[in-house]
């Protein structure tokens, strides 16, 4: 009985999140870099300002996903980037916060590219970071 209940709960969550999930693409560092190079899109670092100052992907804008007004601030930053109709790329330290951000942005109709493993994986792949 517990297995059936768990399966039904998982199915309900999948259906509820299904439309948003199809707009989220989680990519490894090399594929993420390729997408950034091929497409002009806003790149959002969703970590804290302190983490951002320690090093970030070139061209990234910082909007902390832990802030209660993240969606509004992210939407404004995307608009100011001049690419408000394009997909959005997001990352954090290891990928958890950026998935939260991706989910919030996808709920607003954005197509989102999420960096698997965050900036940690990016650095391990030998990709550039700026301060």
- Tell me if residue 92 is catalytic: yes
Q: Of the listed 92, 101, 104, 121, which one is catalytic?
A: 92
- What's the token pair of residue 12? 């309900």
The DSSP secondary-structure symbol of 94 reads: S
What token pair was written down for 62? 């910082």
Q: Report the distance separating Cα 81 and Cα 123, nearest Å.
A: 25
At residue 54's C-alpha, the angle toward residues 48 and 34, to 5°, is 85
Cα 62 to Cα 16: distance, rounded to the nearest angstrom = 29
The catalytic residues are 92
């Amino acid at each position: 009985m517990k297995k059936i209940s768990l399966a039904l709960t998982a199915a309900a969550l999948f259906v509820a999140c299904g439309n948003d999930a199809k707009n989220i693409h989680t990519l490894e560092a090399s594929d993420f870099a390729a997408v950034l190079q091929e497409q002009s899109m806003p790149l959002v670092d969703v970590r804290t300002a302190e983490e951002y100052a320690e090093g970030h992907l070139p061209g990234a804008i910082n909007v902390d996903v832990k802030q209660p007004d993240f969606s509004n601030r992210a939407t404004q930053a995307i608009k100011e980037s001049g690419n408000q109709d394009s997909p959005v790329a997001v990352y954090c330290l290891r990928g958890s916060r950026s998935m939260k951000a991706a989910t919030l942005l996808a709920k607003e109709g954005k197509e989102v590219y999420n960096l698997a493993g965050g900036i940690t994986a990016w650095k391990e792949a030998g990709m550039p970071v700026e301060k």
